[in-house]
Amino acid sequence: MSGTVLTDAAPLCTTCCRAGAAFEHCFTISRCNFKGGAHSGLLTRAALFSRLHQHAWDNENWPMQREPMHPVAARLLTTSVIPVLRLKTAALAAQAIDCLVAAGFGTVELTLTTPDAITLIRDLRSRMAPEFLVGAGTVLDLDTARACVDAGADYLVSPCLVPGMGVLAHEHGRACLMGGFTPGEVLAAWRQGSDIVKVFPAGSGGPSHLGALHAVFPDVPLCPTGGVSLDNMEAYRRAGAVVVGVGNNIVDLPALETGDRARVIEHAGRFLGRVQA
């Protein structure tokens, strides 16, 4: 709360209140930064709690209810598995992408820690059919998010909260997946416009942790990423995951580095086979 002490007389931004996110923002017009600080009108603390109480009984306004799902996010759920590539060279990433497409995946998320990632995203979008979804991962600021949108990314992914990224993505018809690990982080990502919340690093808590989050937030679509493997992906699904993100273990790296394309495709295909089974 940026050091602000909230008292019964303290003014509160009505825009933040309407968004159901007053406590994630500062409490005076001069300090509030929600959507760039374009605010008007103030509420007292008593009026805030009255309004939040009203929201809690109004499914149309209460922020935990969001229907329908963003169309890109809805399409992403049908892919079941999101390959998340974080490779040391652009050449290896390009080869891995081709193998994943050949294995039958309907999407690839390319993290921006990969060299020339935005160029690879642009190339992939230009040569793939519209139904194939291209994701940009590890997007940590709005300037980078805009660059990914300009390159043709269909969805933007961050391991953490990036304020404003949900709005930016939706303004351009893209989906947004921001990350969280604790209940507070998951809720913050959801209220900032994340269509699916990326639970990261999922391996630190395992399926039981995701199950606990799902129990608290049954209306929030969760995508565990980081530590998801062929052995535990179904456990994550049973715990409540709507889709899973699988990192570099979806690629047989020794085979990729030696150019054994058939082996890379066969290995990746096991993840889809596990889902279909």
Which residues are annotated as catalytic? 109, 198
Instruction: Determine the Cα–Cα distance for residues 185 and 180; give it in Å rounded to an integer.
Output: 5
Residue type, 129: A
Q: Inter-axis angle of helices 117-127 and 90-103, to 10 degrees?
A: 30
Q: What is the 3-state secondary structure (H, E, C) of 58-94?
A: CCCCCCCCCCCCCHHHHHHHCCCEEEEECCCCHHHHH
Let me know: does 45 contact 76? Beta carbons within 8 Å: no
Identify which of 161, 113, 166, 165 has the alpha carbon closest to the alpha carbon of residue 142. 165
139 touches 165 (CB < 8 A): yes
